[in-house]
């Protein structure tokens, strides 16, 4: 009727617990190392995303500036409409568009005595631009593998009124 006292359930002595705090400490160090590695990776990918976002905005503005440049050549103020230049490349030397260039292509088609212009500009921003406005390089107009590079393309169509 009475329960027997078990001889196996004896209180543990401090001598038997001597290494347990070392195991807990090593476990905590490993857990915190894994957490810090994860946080570092998150911060690094966030920085890469911010860089690509900034370069993308600059490339878009470079392409837009290229379209404006060609349209200004086609339709100058107080002057007659001029002809399209097939392809042009322009490097920027202003703070907002440093390390950016734009390749502009223009084509003209005449239908029923009306001229239609198609302007396509591709802005490219990357750290390793090699050329300049006096030394244009076609390599700067494309993004190669293993380089931080962003390009954006904008197309505009215009009609010359007769």
Q: How far is CA 75 from CA 66, 84, 102, 111, in A?
A: 14, 10, 20, 19
Q: What is this structure's pTM?
A: 0.69
What confidence category does residue 7 fall into, taking pLDDT thresholds of 50, 70 and 90?
A: low
- For 121, half-sphere exposure in the C-beta direction (CA atoms, 13 angstrom radius) is 27
Q: Where are the domains of the chain?
A: 52-160
- Cβ atoms of residues 78 and 95 within 8 Å: no
112: region left, alpha or beta (phi > 0 left; psi from -120 to 50 alpha): left
Torsion from C-alpha of 156, 59, 91, 105, nearest 10 degrees = -30
Please provide the average confidence, as pLDDT, over all residues in the chain. 81
pLDDT tens profile 8-59:
555 566 566 667 778 888 888 888 888 888 887 777 667 777 888 888 999 9
In degrees and rounded to multiples of 5, residue 7 shows phi and psi of: -85, -15
Instruction: Give the pLDDT mean for 110-128.
Output: 87
């Amino acid at each position: 009727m009475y329960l027997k006292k078990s001889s196996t359930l004896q209180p543990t002595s401090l001598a038997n617990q001597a290494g347990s705090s070392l195991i807990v400490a090593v476990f905590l160090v490993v857990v915190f190392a894994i957490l810090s590695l994860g946080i570092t990776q998150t911060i690094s990918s966030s920085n890469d995303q911010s860089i690509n976002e900034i370069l993308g905005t600059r490339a878009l503005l470079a392409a837009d500036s290229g379209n404006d440049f060609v349209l200004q050549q086609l339709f100058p103020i107080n002057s007659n409409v001029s002809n399209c230049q097939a392809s042009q490349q322009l490097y920027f030397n202003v703070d907002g568009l440093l390390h950016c260039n734009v390749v502009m292509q223009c084509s003209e088609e005449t239908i029923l005595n009306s001229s239609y212009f198609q302007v396509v500009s591709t802005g490219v921003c990357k750290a390793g631009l090699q050329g300049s406005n006096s030394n244009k390089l076609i390599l700067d107009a494309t993004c190669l593998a293993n380089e931080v590079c962003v390009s954006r393309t904008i197309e505009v169509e215009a009609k010359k009124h007769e």
